[in-house]
Structure 1
Amino acid sequence: MSRRPVNPSRRIGDGGSMPFVASIQSKSQNSPLLSIGLVILGAILLIGYCYSNSGGASNDIKDLSKLEGGSSCTLEVLQALPILKKAYGDSMRKVLHVGPESCSVVSSLYEEDDTEAWGIEPYELDDVSAKCKSLVRKGIVRVADLKFPLPYRAKSFPLVIVSDALDYLSPKYLNKTLPELVRVSADGVVIFSGYPGQQRARGGEVAKFGRPAKLRSSSWWIRFFVQTSLEENETAGKKFEQASAKKAYAPACQVFHLKSYP
Structure 2
Amino acid sequence: MSRRPNTSRRFGDSVGIPFVGALHTKSRQSPLLSIGLVVVGALLILGYVYHGSGGGSGDIAALNRLDGGVSCTLELQTLIPILKKAYGESMRKVLHIGPETCSVVSQILKEDDTEAWGVEPYEMDDADANCKSLVRKGVVRVADIKFPLPYKPKSFSLVLVSDALDYLSPRYLNKTVPELARVSADGLVILSGYPGHKIAKGTELSKFGRPAKFRSSSWWIRFFIQTRLEENETAIKKFEQAAAKKAYRPACQIFHLKPLH
Residue type of the alignment partner of 2:185: A
Shift of 1:172: 0.2
Distance 1:215 1:156, change over 3 A: same
- The answer for the alignment partner of 1:240 in structure 2 is 239
Shift of 1:174: 0.2
Please give the secondary structure, in 1, of the residue aligned with 2:207. Answer: helix
Match status 1:189 vs 2:191: no
Match status 1:124 vs 2:123: yes
Give the alignment of 1:54-203 within 5 angstroms.
70-200=69-199
- Paired residues of 1:149 and 1:177 also in contact (CA < 8 A): yes
Mapped partners of 2:158, 2:122: distance in 1: 22
- Paired residues of 2:99 and 2:162 also in contact (CA < 8 A): yes
Distance 1:247 1:143, change over 3 A: same
**Runs of 4+ residues over 2 Å off in structure 1:** 201-209
Residue type of the alignment partner of 1:145: D
Structure with bigger gyration radius: 1
- Paired residues of 1:188 and 1:259 also in contact (CA < 8 A): yes
Mapped partners of 1:239, 1:98: distance in 2: 23
Mean Cα deviation higher: 174-183 or 237-246: 237-246
Mapped partners of 2:104, 2:202: distance in 1: 24
Shift of 1:171: 0.3
- The answer for the alignment partner of 2:25 in structure 1 is none
Please give the secondary structure, in 2, of the residue aligned with 1:74. Answer: helix
Distance 1:204 1:241, change over 3 A: closer
- Paired residues of 1:225 and 1:231 also in contact (CA < 8 A): yes
Alignment RMSD: 2.3
- State, as a whole percentage, how many aligned pairs show the same letter: 75
Residues 113-136 of structure 1, C-alpha deviations (whole Å, 9 max, x = no match): 211000000011111111001101
Please give the secondary structure, in 2, of the residue aligned with 1:235. Answer: helix
Shift of 1:261: 2.5
Mapped partners of 2:248, 2:194: distance in 1: 17
Shift of 1:209: 3.6
TM-score normalised by the chain length of structure 1: 0.72
Please give the secondary structure, in 1, of the residue aligned with 2:211. Answer: coil
Mapped partners of 2:83, 2:91: distance in 1: 8
TM-score normalised by the chain length of structure 2: 0.72
Shift of 1:203: 9.6
Distance 1:175 1:126, change over 3 A: same
- Paired residues of 2:192 and 2:214 also in contact (CA < 8 A): yes
- Paired residues of 1:205 and 1:211 also in contact (CA < 8 A): no
Shift of 1:69: 5.6
Residue type of the alignment partner of 1:198: H
Please give the secondary structure, in 2, of the residue aligned with 1:208. Answer: coil
Residues paired across the two proteins, number = 201
Shift of 1:238: 1.1
Structure 1: gaps spanning 5 or more residues = 1-57
Shift of 1:204: 8.4
Please give the secondary structure, in 2, of the residue aligned with 1:160. Answer: strand
Residues 228-262 of structure 1, C-alpha deviations (whole Å, 9 max, x = no match): 11111111011111111111111210000010123
- Paired residues of 1:74 and 1:99 also in contact (CA < 8 A): yes
Distance 1:207 1:105, change over 3 A: closer
- The answer for the alignment partner of 2:221 in structure 1 is 222
Residues 82-114 of structure 1, C-alpha deviations (whole Å, 9 max, x = no match): 110111001111100000110010000111121
Shift of 1:65: 5.8
Mapped partners of 1:103, 1:65: distance in 2: 20
Residues 36-58 of structure 1, C-alpha deviations (whole Å, 9 max, x = no match): xxxxxxxxxxxxxxxxxxxxxx9
